[in-house]
A = this chain, B = another copy of it.
Amino acid sequence: MARIARGGTPAGRRAGGSTVPDRLLAAASRLFAQRGFESTSVQDVVEAAGVTKGAMYHYFRSKDDLLHEIYRRLLTMQTQRLADFAAAEGPLPERLFAAASDVVQTSIANLDDSVIFFRSMHLLTNEHQTRVRAERRRYHELFRSLIEEGQRSGAFRDDIPAGIVTIHYFGSVHQLGTWYRPDGKMTPRELGEYYATLLLAGLRPEPGAAGTAGRESDGA
């Protein structure tokens, strides 16, 4: 966690309209994604943010803390959205589709953070790494529970463990940063829908499968 609470506090404000911590995070996210965390010096970050080193160390405990804050922001946002989709009304497959499509879109909307995410996790201090993993696990578990719910209800095939489906899906999502280019011809929305379609197609019950929970009524 960062040294000083960031947010709507008057502290750290500048004429530019954004706070010093925000500008540091924005610069760090861009540079870490472009060059990698280790190839970016603290000096690079503070220069890009237009502040001095001392200022950075006033708001962040360390370079690692800066990195962790990037993870925290992205995770918090995506976890919240997933929780919203999970709690929404409507048939489960539609909610899962919406959630799966949405995480693709938010990953693209925060592409720098996404790139950093999978690439630099191992560089976090142990403590930060543990915290990020725990949060990520909660996220995955919520997603998995949606799949399991569908498997129990017979909406989804249940011969592939929900955990595998989850990790398979997020593997693809995490890799977005390595190839997606905003100037390509595919929009984030289209891509999200393709990905979500693939997920749900993979979960469709097998044509000839029988005897799965909740399917009996269909046979009538």
Contacts and interface: CB of A to CB of B under 8 A. Distances in A.
A36 B160 contact: no
Contacts of A202: 198-199, 201-202
Interface stretch (A10-18, A59-67, A189-197): A189-197
Most buried by B among A39, A119, A122, A204: A122
A5 to B, nearest CB: 18
Interface string A101-142: 000000000000000001101110000000000000000000
B171 A123 contact: no
A172 interface: yes
A160 B197 CA distance: 8
Interface stretch (A68-76, A78-86, A90-98, A161-169): A161-169
Interface of A: 35-36, 38-39, 118-119, 121-123, 157, 160-161, 164-165, 167-176, 178-179, 191, 194-195, 197-199, 201-204, 206-207
